[in-house]
């Protein structure tokens, strides 16, 4: 983001683009990927396999180096980029094969934070298809083509990616303002940088998921919590199920 635009940002937009709200571990829980995977997206990686040349990969999401260990390092826009990569990961296409295509996509779109932009949803499938077609004779090109299908004569993302993108709520500037948390089957949990400083909250009632779980772990019954927090029992059960699975 250029300096002129940065100066013009409102406080709410600074929360979206500049202020680190999440640690790597917190962002990983929200998008439901392993923290080690998210760390490579945020910081890049360097691997030295025995007997082989070293393998490197640069960062692909927005990351702010923290002053101290354990402090937040990922702003809201970085979380949105992470959500897109989580969708790609769920497609089964190896990230190492499509990293170059994602970097080329960002260059082609000509935007900062291109993975978080609405233009990824509207134009990204065409650009990736063209990239894959031009490299069809390589493993990387064929992998990229696995992310796109032709539907009604148009190039669109495969369902697992499209499902993530169409759920995001975008602001007038074309970047996300609200992100649904994908880990739940029934619970309507979102992250919004203007609510609870970006912590996951129930869309209905606005209670922080962390607060509700804290009461449950303290011994309160799920029968008591729906009335107090304004959250349907089925959604509370879903959140407890996911939290229990992660703790196991």
Question: 174-226, pLDDT tens digit by residue?
Answer: 999 999 999 899 999 999 999 999 999 999 889 999 999 999 999 988 888 98
Banded pLDDT at 170 (limits 50, 70, 90): very high
Give me the torsion for CA of 29, 188, 168, 90, rounded to 10°.
50
Q: Please identify, among 182, 211, 238, the residue that sits at the C-terminal boundary of a domain.
A: 182
Q: Are residues 140 and 40 in the same domain?
A: yes
Name the token pair of 243.
């939290």
Residue identified by tokens 């709520």 is 169
Instruction: Please say if the pLDDT value at position 11 is more than 70.
Output: yes
User: How many whole angstroms separate alpha carbon 248 and alpha carbon 244?
Assistant: 6
Give me the half-sphere count of Cα atoms (radius 13 Å) on the Cβ side of residue 159.
Answer: 0
* Count of structural domains within the chain: 2
Out of 140, 157, 182, pick the residue that ends a domain: 182
Q: Are residues 145 and 237 in the same domain?
A: no
Check residue 116 and give its pLDDT.
95
Segments forming the whole domain that contains residue 146: 3-182
Length of the chain: 248
Do 75 and 162 belong to one domain?
yes
Query: Strand locations in 26-114, DSSP E?
Result: 45-47, 55-57, 74-75
User: Are 221 and 106 in the same domain?
Assistant: no
Shared domain for 141 and 188, answered yes or no, is no
Beta-carbon-side half-sphere exposure of residue 210 (alpha carbons within 13 Å): 9
Output the CA torsion sign for 32, 35, 36, 37.
Answer: positive
| pLDDT value for 192 | 96
Read off the tokens for 114.
Answer: 């291109």
Answer yes or no: do 216 and 94 share one domain: no
């Amino acid at each position: 983001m250029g300096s002129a635009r940065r100066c013009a940002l409102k406080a709410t937009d600074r929360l979206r683009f500049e202020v680190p709200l999440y640690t790597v571990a917190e962002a990983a829980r929200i998008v439901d990927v392993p923290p080690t995977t998210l760390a490579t997206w945020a910081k890049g990686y360097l691997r030295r396999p025995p007997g082989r040349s070293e393998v490197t990969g640069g960062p692909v999401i927005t990351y702010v180096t923290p002053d101290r260990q354990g402090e937040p390092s990922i702003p809201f826009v970085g979380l949105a980029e992470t959500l897109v990569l989580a969708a790609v990961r769920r497609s089964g296409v190896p990230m190492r094969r499509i990293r170059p295509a994602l970097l080329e996509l960002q260059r082609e779109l000509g935007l900062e934070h291109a993975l978080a932009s609405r233009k990824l949803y509207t134009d990204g499938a065409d650009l990736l298809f063209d990239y894959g077609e031009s490299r069809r004779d390589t493993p990387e090109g064929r992998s990229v083509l696995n992310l796109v299908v032709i539907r009604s004569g148009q190039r669109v993302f495969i369902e697992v990616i499209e499902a993530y993108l169409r759920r995001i709520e975008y602001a007038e500037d074309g970047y996300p303002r609200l992100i649904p948390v994908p880990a739940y089957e029934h619970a309507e949990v979102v992250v919004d940088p203007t609510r609870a400083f970006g912590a996951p909250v129930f869309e209905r009632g606005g209670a922080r998921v962390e607060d509700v779980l804290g009461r449950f772990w303290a011994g309160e019954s799920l029968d008591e919590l729906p009335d107090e927090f304004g959250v349907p029992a089925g959604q509370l059960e879903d959140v407890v199920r996911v939290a229990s699975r992660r703790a196991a």
